[in-house]
Amino acid sequence: MKTGKRFEELASQEAGGSYPPCCYHNPDNGHGAALYAAYNSGGDPDTAGLNFRGEPCPMWEDLPQNIRDKWDAVAQYVAIDKAGLFGSSI
């Protein structure tokens, strides 16, 4: 996962342009967007930026608000878990 203000430009330049823009996040979009970009760039590099059907993943801004809210909820959970408030719940 890459970050930065020029995240779309970096997406097309770095690694020979092999990672699509959805694998990069704009820090202004928050932690949910960072986790979404990590998900999109994880695993086999040949499938980076593709969903389970092999279709391109949308950019964070193009996701429905409900989906962005779910990623933000995951980010909140991770922050709380890192603080040790959930103990060994996972």
pLDDT tens-digit profile of 18-58? 789 999 989 999 999 999 999 999 999 999 999 999 999 99
Please check whether residue 90 lies inside any domain of the structure.
no
Residue pair 21/59 in contact by the 8 Å Cβ criterion: yes
CB atoms within 10 A of CB 61: 9
- Residue numbers of the domain that contains 78: 2-82
Q: Is 17 buried (19+), middle (13-18) or exposed (0-12) by CB count in 10 A?
A: exposed
Please check whether residue 50 lies inside any domain of the structure.
yes
Mean of the per-residue pLDDT values for the chain? 82
Structural domains of the chain, count: 1
Closest CA to 32 of 87, 67, 88, 72: 72
Please check whether residue 41 lies inside any domain of the structure.
yes
Contact residues for 86 (Cβ-Cβ < 8 A; gap 6+)? 77, 80
The predicted model scores a pTM of: 0.73
